[in-house]
Homo-oligomer: A and B are copies of this chain.
Amino acid sequence: MPLAFSQTTQSAARVVASAADAPAAAPFADRLAAVVAARESQVVLGLDPDPARLWPQAVRAAPADGPPAERAARAVAAHCRALIDAAGPACAAAKPQLACFERLGAPGWAALAEVVEHARAAGLLVIADAKRGDIAVSAAAYGQALVGATPTPFGDAPGLGVDAFTASPYLGVDTLDVLLGAARAARAGMFVLVRTSNPGAADLEDLELAEGGPLWARVAAIVDALGAGAPQASEAGFSGPGAPGHSACGLHDVGAVVGATAPEHVARMRELMPRTVFLLPGIGAQGGRVEDLAPAFAPHRAAGLVTASRSIATAHEQRPDATPEAAARAEVERLRAAAWALA
């Protein structure tokens, strides 16, 4: 590892610069590039809270009574806030897994909204890991839920207000187009599943097509085209680098989820998607190694984002001498430094 300076000193320096420093109206890719540069980090903090495995102080912070879902949701929110406070300064973004909040029902969604707000206040971009995909009219509703607002007879109901979200491509380009339209209206980003980190990725994503190449390569071409098809400033009635989808840093607002567990594909994906931000899950608990991902980072420091969740949140289980906060901080800093050294 080439970094010789103190982890603590460096983390403290990074905490002052944050996504909040980039203008809110800048496109997602530019806001991402700014926070990656300021924090010298491509790490995305996964927030996958399991109510049965929360940090002890978060469990103690729950109300003394009430329905289990309500108490657990309060504990989940406290856990995520503490994790963001401990590990966030070494990260560029936070990625809440929506399933983990949905399972606590309405109180879980209230906790999700609170966690999104806390992460943004901590200077992190927020990527909602939703993997949504539906026909146009429903995709529009998901867009309202994630990055937009819903007109009602009582006024607009705001959505989560995240900076980006993940989406599933199975239903085709028309459904992705609707989600992307919602994202661009909010200057947000969208990460499309291309090749995921699970063993089952072989079942459909790797299927060889009659036209040649695997299914994931076709999806990669769609992702590249959607990103390249960002409206030009003049067409959209905007001008300059703040126009929707048109970034100053050169990266697209349509990213790709590319599992870190199959690094042999990463170089080929980079050829197919030269200006796409790769979201790279599968490091740590799923077996992927950050050292294998160099092609992801080749075009730009912000072109590869390394996500980790359980390996950070449960780091203290391997280190009985450390508090959850200290263990999480050490683990995220290790990952940050390893990724930054590659880029």
Contact = CB atoms under 8 A, between A and B. Distances in A.
Interface size class of chain A, counting residues whose CB lies under 8 Å from the partner chain = 35 or more
Interface in A170-184: 170-176
A106 B203 CA distance: 36
B75 A157 contact: no
Nearest to A73: B157
B199 A68 contact: no
Interface stretch (A32-40, A140-148, A235-243, A272-280): A140-148
A338 interface: no
A110 to B, nearest CB: 4
Most B CB atoms within 10 A — which of A52, A110, A150? A150
B135 A198 contact: yes
A328 interface: no
Contact of A103 (B107, B144, B170): B144
Interface stretch (A5-13, A118-126, A211-219): A211-219
A52 B152 contact: yes
Nearest to A199: B174
A172 B152 contact: no
B134 A99 contact: yes
B72 A152 contact: yes
Contacts of A131: 132-134, 168
A137 B199 CA distance: 13
A97 interface: yes
A68 B105 contact: no
A207 interface: yes
Given A170-B193, A172-B205, A208-B211, A113 B105 contact: yes
A196 interface: yes
A323 interface: no
A25 interface: no
B197 A135 contact: yes
Given A131-B133, A150-B72, A201 B172 contact: yes
A128 to B, nearest CB: 11
Contact of A99 (B69, B142, B158, B219): B142
Contacts of A137: 48
Contacts of A157: 51, 67-69, 72, 103-105
A131 B139 CA distance: 11
A108 B202 CA distance: 36
A215 B196 CA distance: 18
A200 B173 contact: yes
Most B CB atoms within 10 A — which of A54, A99, A193, A218? A99
A185 interface: no
A67 B149 CA distance: 13
A326 interface: no
A68 to B, nearest CB: 4
B103 A135 contact: no
A102 B72 CA distance: 20
14 contacts: A48-B141, A54-B153, A68-B156, A97-B134, A99-B139, A99-B141, A102-B141, A102-B142, A103-B157, A105-B160, A106-B109, A135-B196, A135-B281, A172-B202
Given A68-B154, A71-B154, A170-B193, 5 more contacts: A75-B153, A105-B145, A133-B168, A169-B204, A204-B219
